[in-house]
Amino acid sequence: SLSLKGCGLPGRGRSEGGMNNGLHSVQAWHHQAGYNMTKAQTSQLAAEVKCDVVRKAHNEAGEANLGMYKEVTDSLEKKVQSSHNILGALRWRAETLGVAIASARRSLAKLEAAFLAKEAPLRLCNWHMEERKRRPRRELVRDTVEDHLDEERAVILEAQRKIGDAVRRTRALIADLEAKMQEVRQDIDNKVQAVGIDEMCLRTTNASFRTVLNHTERQASAGRNIKYSKWRRPDDHPVIRDGRNNELVRERRVAYLVSSTEQQEETANSICDEQDRLMAACARSVEDAGARLEQAVQVRLKENEKMRGRLDAELKETEAKIDDTMNTIAETRFQITALEEPVDLANICGSWRHRRVDPERISDPVSTRLSDHQTAAIKARRELVLHQQSIHSKLQHLHECRDHLAEDIADKLTAHNIDSTCLATRCGQGMREGLYEGDYFAPPIRSEYLDPVPEAATNALAARDDLHAVRESLRAGSSASSVQSAPRSEFSVGPPGGDARSPLQRRPTTFAGAHTPLGAPSATPSGASTPVSIRSGRGVAFADAVGAPLHGGVTPPSAARSRSSQASNCSGGAGWGGTG
């Protein structure tokens, strides 16, 4: 009975099997075996059904997993491609915006240069008006020259006002463009960071997808047909809809940024074109006013010229002394200009030596000698300036003595020389800054928006070599061919392949019919430089003021300084007379 209980069969009484001494019957034995087999078959069937359910769940989970892998991969690839397209558009817009900013800066530099260019004619006009106020009382008449001077001054001031307004507008435009450039660059940085993360996620997802796919394919090779799951959230699902809307807003924001940037670029280009036309119109108006003034001055000179026929005999001796004094003034000025070279050298060497690394940037004997050289040159130049002022006073005394000889004629000659000086200056024979005030060392004008040129220092040194060659050749009285043999650069003196003399040397110093007494033949050979007298109109008086070449082919310091200022601008010098 114990074995029957273990098999789950109902036990039988001992009364029935007692006679058999504890042995079961054959029927019970068959019944027990059949019961066990039936129970095993039932368990096997239940296990098989459960395994089928589990395998189906495995397949569904695998298909869903692979399908979601594909959905994630597709969305990441689409996101990365969209981000790259957006980055391409933003980078292209950043490049075009940079071009627009550079164009606006060049336009601003041109405007500032045009504004500063009006200072010289305005200063010349004011100086001429002041000089004409100094005419003798009998010469203070309201002639056509006065009318044209007022007209020219008004035209120049109006041009400066317009250009000044354009400068302010251009600066505001550059500020707006730079702000937009900052916004575009910030957006590019954000997009680059985001696309980097998305690409990293895409690479990681692809690696994980291949691992899971290989594992799933091994299971499929065992007799299961695995298909990618098409399960996904519906398009109208709130999460899908919000993500799609967010991406659309992102793309629209970029499109708006690109569109607004393009509009600003078009506005900047139109403003730059308008300002170019404004500068051209202002330049034409100033040139036309100057041409009308020159014509009026020439008419006035011809009227005054008719009253100067009997001056040479009475003032011959005084003129000789005036010529000698003016030659001395010109030579002194040339020496003053020659002292600018060591000052520029000290500034350049100091600037270059300041770039040394910290262990080497010390105050050594070279720095001391450079400073001493610069100080000595500045002191010598100051002494020459004092001598120049003193000799100017001596020249004024000579003029006063000559005025006493013929006061009436001298008054007319004074007016004539004032107008002659103005006309000669306007014709390019010596206009420079500080002409009336006596400022011989006006600093060079710079513009802060100029694109830095990598070879600017080399060009500046080459220009200085050319300038030094010109000075040496002129001091030695050599021919122009020696100057032409010097290496040329962007700032070389003289026209390319042409006459190497300065424009002041190539230009005659006399006016046609303006410097020879009536009826007297000219004693000056054709092409020679004739000193122009401040009283007779034949000589050197206004040659000093305008910087025209004097006897011996001496180059006026104003012309040499104008060329030297170009080289100092390019080399980054500290300015005239400074220590850097």
For residue 268, tell me if it sits in a domain.
Answer: yes
Burial of 359 (0-12, 13-18, 19+ CB in 10 A): exposed
**Are 282 and 366 members of one domain?**
no
**Are 483 and 401 members of one domain?**
yes
**Are 300 and 241 members of one domain?**
yes
Enclosing domain of residue 555: 314-438+454-511+528-580
Q: Can you give the pLDDT at residue 460?
A: 40
For the segment 259-301, what is each residue's pLDDT rounded down to a tens digit?
888 888 999 999 999 999 999 999 999 999 988 988 898 988 8
CA distances from 54 to 60, 61, 64, 156 (A): 10, 10, 15, 96
| pTM exceeds 0.75, yes or no | no
For residue 298, tell me if it sits in a domain.
Answer: yes
**Are 409 and 287 members of one domain?**
no
Number of structural domains in the chain: 2
Report the C-alpha gap between 391 and 332 in whole angstroms: 10
Q: Residue 274's domain is classified under what CATH number?
A: 1.20.1260
Report the C-alpha gap between 228 and 69 in whole angstroms: 10
**Are 272 and 322 members of one domain?**
no
For residue 482, tell me if it sits in a domain.
Answer: yes
Q: Is the pLDDT of residue 498 over 80?
A: no
- Per-residue pLDDT band at 505 (split at 50, 70, 90): very low
**Are 158 and 86 members of one domain?**
yes
Q: Can you give the pLDDT at residue 554?
A: 38
**pLDDT, average across residues 134-145:** 85
CA distances from 482 to 500, 557, 559 (A): 9, 20, 19
Per-chain mean pLDDT for the chain: 70
For the segment 18-51, what is each residue's pLDDT rounded down to a tens digit?
445 667 788 888 898 899 999 999 998 988 888 8
* Token code pair at residue 239: 């999460």
Bigger pLDDT: 534 or 232?
A: 232
**Are 77 and 219 members of one domain?**
yes
CB atoms under 10 Å from CB of 462, counted, come to 20
For residue 468, tell me if it sits in a domain.
Answer: yes
Residue 348 phi/psi, 5-degree rounding, is -65, -45
Question: In this prediction, what percent of the chain has a pLDDT beyond 90?
Answer: 14
**Are 294 and 410 members of one domain?**
no
Residue 277, CA atoms < 13 Å, CB-side half-sphere: 5
Q: Return the residue matching tokens 């100033």.
A: 286
Domain's final residue, options 279, 306, 333: 306
Q: Is the pLDDT of residue 105 over 50?
A: yes
Report the C-alpha gap between 346 and 372 in whole angstroms: 9
Q: Can you give the pLDDT at residue 107?
A: 92
